[in-house]
Amino acid sequence: MVEKKPEPVVAKVEIKETPKVVTSEFKEKQKEEKRLRNKFSKLEEEIAVLNTEKQKFEAMLADPEIYSNKSQFQTTENNYKSVVLKIELLQPEYESLFEQLMQYES
């Protein structure tokens, strides 16, 4: 006599998708985050351009020949100071946006 092994019991598990409820609050947060990211990116690009200009003026001011032409020196120095001031004025906004975006990450 051959003993029959019992059939394995197979449980049917039904996987239901979780409903994708998107609240208006969630949409608003996404919209605000996107706005902040865009603003941050533009500001980052602007600061990068200004830093490039700053380096250019620093290189010009490092050249001893510029000091032989007073008007050229003054123009270059004024341009340099202007760029540095713009960077200094944009930096707090950049840092603030960065902090706001970090809140969305957590």
Q: Where are the domains of the chain?
A: 31-105
Residue 25: which pLDDT band, with cuts at 50, 70 and 90?
A: confident
* Terminal-to-terminal C-alpha distance of the chain: 67
More confident residue, 55 or 29: 55
Cα distance between residue 33 and residue 26, in whole Å: 11
Q: Describe the crossing of helices 24-62 and 70-105 by its angle, rounded to 10 degrees.
A: 150
Q: Please identify, in words, the CATH class of the domain defined by 31-105.
A: mainly alpha
Residue 26: which pLDDT band, with cuts at 50, 70 and 90?
A: confident
Answer for the pair 61, 76: CB distance below 8 angstroms, yes or no: yes
Residue 3: which pLDDT band, with cuts at 50, 70 and 90?
A: low
Examine the pLDDT at 35 and tell me if it is beyond 70. Answer: yes
Q: For residue range 75-104, list pLDDT tens digits in order.
A: 999 999 999 999 999 999 999 999 999 998
Where helices occur in the chain by DSSP H, the ranges are 24-62, 70-105
**Other beta carbons less than 10 A from residue 44's beta carbon:** 14
